[in-house]
Amino acid sequence: MNINKPKVFIPIIIAAIVLVVLIILLIPNKQSQEIITVEESDSVIVVKPNMAYGFNIDSFDFLHGTIEPNQIFSSMLSPYGISQAFISELADSAKNIMPLRKIQSGKNYIILLSKDSLESAQYFIYEKNAIDYVVFKLSHPIKIYEDQRAVDTLISTASGVITSSLWADMAKNGYSPLLIQAMSEIYEWDINFFAINKGDKYKLVYEQTQVEGEFVGIGKIISAWFEYAQEDYYAFYFIQGERDDYYDDQGKNLRKMLLRAPLKYSRISSGFSNSRMHPILKRYRPHHGVDYSAASGTPIVSVGDGVVIFAAYSGGAGNMVKIQHNGTYTTGYLHLSRYGKGIRKGAKVKQGDVIGYVGSTGLSTGPHLDYRIWKNGSAINPLTLKLPPVESVADSNLIEFNIVKDSLKKELDKIPTPTYSAK
């Protein structure tokens, strides 16, 4: 017997195994195919179109321009194949949306041109401001519509110390005039910004709006702290019912029945006195008001709701307006250059309405406002008057308010308190 005979079959067996493996590998596997397909679809990169003003900018040539003084609408479009007849038709269609006569010089515009040898104008885009714009379709059917650029809201902070004036110091620190105005309006009932002191401090948390990374405006101030005459004045934004307002740390409304001052960004040239040397008459006499020095024509507002009880020329007081606010308070505005629209005896006014303009009528050495307050018929110092508040946070909303207040105060506390050096 030949015991070596089985060795002959070993290569045959190995070859058979290899053949089976190859067959298995070559037969399509449905499951593996599906997995591969999913992996391939997941790896596809979707390229988003480059959009501006609601258009794919890669589909047009963008022509940017600024409307020149006395430039007419047709002069911007006629070089691009838009006829005068079509422009007349466009003007008629735009009457109720954006009348062409209201297009202003200095505003930016964009013309979308076709990407061909003709370079015909397809759309005209007029920027009303940094956010709002109007689109004019320059072909039939005519289409005109308003839209807005995407606005991003960022939370920002501000802080500083007063060395000269609120306006000058905040501007020196690079803060927008819009922010300065917003802050002064929050505190206009409690803080006399014409009499703030060196060393007074402030901290703010506020919204800043941007379009495509560029600053376009100030949103609302969320919280604020002002150290005025070594006292803390807080302001917290809070929505109560359908009304949003600012409240102090006790939940009292910062709005008052009367404004602290009837005009903005001026200086006090003369205060309340029972014996003041009159600059013209050259004798001592009472001056029961506060003189605000300001440029002629500066708007003057009513410090509260009320009824005009006098609006006429009154000797040394010049053009004068008196407003009865209630059974207790009356205010007077003297030396006006002219009266506000509709201001006459019997007219009703709201807090903040323009009632006149700074002038120098009557006995006056220069443009200024002599502002006066009478309480129950007696003259009182406007600068020391404790103003009565309006509606505070309701008892039913105090728990919610305190939660909001505590959170906002923590954010204010994170801002380093500025220091003052009297150098």
pLDDT at site 10: 59
In a domain, 33, yes or no: no
Q: CA nearest 157: which of 422, 419, 420, 414? A: 414
Are residue 139 and residue 188 in the same domain, yes or no?
no
Q: How far is CA 247 from CA 109, 244, 385, in A?
A: 43, 10, 20
In a domain, 136, yes or no: yes
Both tokens of 128, joined, read: 């009303």
| Rounded Cα gap, residues 415 and 422, in angstroms | 22
pLDDT at site 327: 87
pLDDT at site 47: 65
Q: Tell me, what CATH number does 372's domain have?
A: 2.70.70.10
Are residue 247 and residue 396 in the same domain, yes or no?
yes
Burial-class residue 200 by CB neighbours within 10 Å (0-12, 13-18, 19+): buried
Full pLDDT tens readout for the chain, 423 residues = 444 445 555 556 666 665 555 555 555 544 444 443 444 445 566 667 788 888 988 889 989 999 999 888 888 888 888 999 999 999 999 998 999 888 999 999 999 999 888 888 999 999 999 889 999 999 999 999 999 988 889 999 999 999 988 888 888 888 998 998 899 889 988 887 777 888 999 999 999 999 888 888 899 999 999 998 889 999 999 998 888 999 999 999 998 888 888 987 567 867 767 655 556 556 566 778 889 988 999 999 999 999 999 999 998 899 999 999 988 999 999 999 999 999 999 999 999 999 999 999 998 888 999 999 999 999 999 888 887 778 899 999 999 999 999 999 999 999 998 887 766
Q: How far is CA 23 from CA 13, 17, 31, 33, in A?
A: 16, 10, 17, 17
Q: Which amino acid is at 158?
A: A
pLDDT at site 276: 58
Are residue 144 and residue 155 in the same domain, yes or no?
no
- The pTM for the full model equals 0.60
**3-class DSSP state of 368:** strand
Half-sphere exposure in the Cβ direction for 32 (13 Å, CA): 5
Are residue 330 and residue 398 in the same domain, yes or no?
no
- Last residue within a domain, chosen from 148, 179, 209: 148
Q: DSSP states of 206-270 as a string?
A: EEEEEETTEEEEEEEEEEEEEEETTEEEEEEEEEETTEEEEE-TTS-BS-BSS-S-SSSS-EEEE
Are residue 166 and residue 200 in the same domain, yes or no?
yes
Residue ranges with strand state E in 89-151 = 108-114, 121-127, 132-137, 144-148
Are residue 85 and residue 170 in the same domain, yes or no?
no
pLDDT at site 266: 63
- Last residue within a domain, chosen from 98, 127, 148: 148
In a domain, 14, yes or no: no
Phi, psi of 310 (to 5 degrees): -155, 135
**What residues pair up with 405 in beta bridges, in sequence order?**
none
Both tokens of 240, joined, read: 């109560």
In a domain, 1, yes or no: no
**3-class DSSP state of 405:** helix
Q: How far is CA 128 from CA 25, 74, 106, 361, in A?
A: 68, 18, 10, 40
Are residue 278 and residue 215 in the same domain, yes or no?
no
In a domain, 155, yes or no: yes
In a domain, 36, yes or no: no
Cβ atoms of 222 and 237 within 8 Å: the answer is yes
- Last residue within a domain, chosen from 104, 119, 148: 148
Are residue 399 and residue 356 in the same domain, yes or no?
no
pLDDT at site 412: 96
Per the structure, how many domains does the chain have?
3
| Rounded Cα gap, residues 332 and 261, in angstroms | 12
pLDDT at site 50: 80
Both tokens of 145, joined, read: 């519509």
In a domain, 94, yes or no: yes
In a domain, 405, yes or no: yes
Are residue 92 and residue 162 in the same domain, yes or no?
no
Are residue 251 and residue 394 in the same domain, yes or no?
yes
Are residue 188 and residue 222 in the same domain, yes or no?
yes
End-to-end Cα separation, the chain, in angstroms: 121
Cβ atoms of 235 and 186 within 8 Å: the answer is yes
Q: Tell me, what CATH number does 232's domain have?
A: 3.10.450.350
Expressed as residue numbers, the domain containing 118 is 51-148
| Rounded Cα gap, residues 329 and 258, in angstroms | 9
Are residue 279 and residue 368 in the same domain, yes or no?
yes
